[in-house]
Amino acid sequence: MPTDTNQPNQAQIQPVVLIICDGWGVAPPSDGNAITQAKLPVFNRLLKTYPAMTIIASGNEVGLEWGQMGNSEVGHLNIGAGRVYYQTLLRINQSISSGAFFKDETLLKATAHVKKNKSRLHLMGMVSNGNVHSAEEHLYALLKFAAEQKIKEVYIHMFLDGRDALFNGGGASLERLQAKIKEYGVGRVASLAGRFYALDRDNRWDRIEKTYRAIAEGTGEQSSDPAEAIKASYAKEVYDEQFVPVTITDGGKPVATVEDNDAVIFFNFRPDRARELTKAFALPGFDKFTARAYKNLLFVTMAEFEKSLPVEVVFPPDVIKNCLAEVVSN
């Protein structure tokens, strides 16, 4: 039987193991450095026996802005790509700086949808200066874009951080947002929720449901003032991450809920924690809890959260060819 001489002999194939130790950094010894305090006979032997180097895992070297801290997803993407992988954060920032953002076809499709249907534009996402899942500047750019497009009804569903930013930084983030709303003359906060409830990634659908109800129905806890709602929560020592979803009201009625014919832009750029809430709004046949089957709802995501989701994507992923896994397998 003929054999393919280009194929390696099974006996020649040696196992290749890539082990990633998340959180295992390199820093000077100290009382707070668990790695230098620990006994690591195997690891230390490997360092002495085989070539080793320290690499940078933040900033420009991993496709982020200068000085921006890395995270697990950024690290995994760069390792898997086998090269610098320019992160969605940087791509969006560059698009805003160049002005291309304000001419983007997908974003223009959202505003055209609102104009055609005489409906509302909803902006949802984490409002935080942590820049891990989202960036405040992206929301500000969307407000500017909406103002330029003369969209009158723009409602913001604000998710608080408290994990990748200060535990109580939500109040300051809201102040900065309110200043931008005043500057551009458009936008109003319609709901608040901590990331614990809005951005779960482990199928804890009871948490997602609380956020969904606040945004879609205006049910649950209510407040007439977002700043007062945050202050009241802090007074109970419930800070940003655990902030219980609140619907903002005007005259006893919700400022806005997502309705048929509306458009939604989810401005988080990191996919993992944005998928579940997106599915509740956009996925036909969603069955994790009772959710509304919207008619003519245009749902837009800043990045691709999952290939199969029926949404419009502003910044689809770059296709990586000749990646690390391909090189190793060949």
How far is the C-alpha of 241 from the C-alpha of 199, rounded, in Å? 10
For residues 285 and 292, the answer to whether their CB atoms sit within 8 Å is no
Annotated catalytic residue within 72, 97, 98, 224: 72
Which letter does DSSP use for residue 156 in this model?
Answer: E
Q: Write out the two tokens for 196.
A: 């614990």
- Residues in Cβ contact with 288 at an 8 Å cutoff, skipping those fewer than 6 apart: 203, 205, 208, 209, 279, 280
Residue 150 region by backbone torsions, left for phi larger than 0, else alpha for psi between -120 and 50, else beta: left
Is 128 known to be catalytic?
no
The residue whose two tokens read 């397998």 is 329
For residues 281 and 297, the answer to whether their CB atoms sit within 8 Å is yes
3-state secondary structure of 129: coil
Which segments within 214-293 are labelled E, that is strand? Answer: 221-223, 246-250, 253-254, 263-266
At residue 117's C-alpha, the angle toward residues 156 and 290, to 5°, is: 60
3-state secondary structure of 32: coil
Which segments within the chain are labelled E, that is strand? Answer: 121-126, 154-160, 188-194, 221-223, 246-250, 253-254, 263-266, 298-303, 312-315
Q: Return the amino acid letter for 159.
A: F
Which of 127, 130, 133 has its CA nearest to residue 177?
Answer: 127
Which of 14, 2, 129 has its CA nearest to residue 68?
Answer: 129
Which letter does DSSP use for residue 157 in this model?
Answer: E
Active site residues: 72
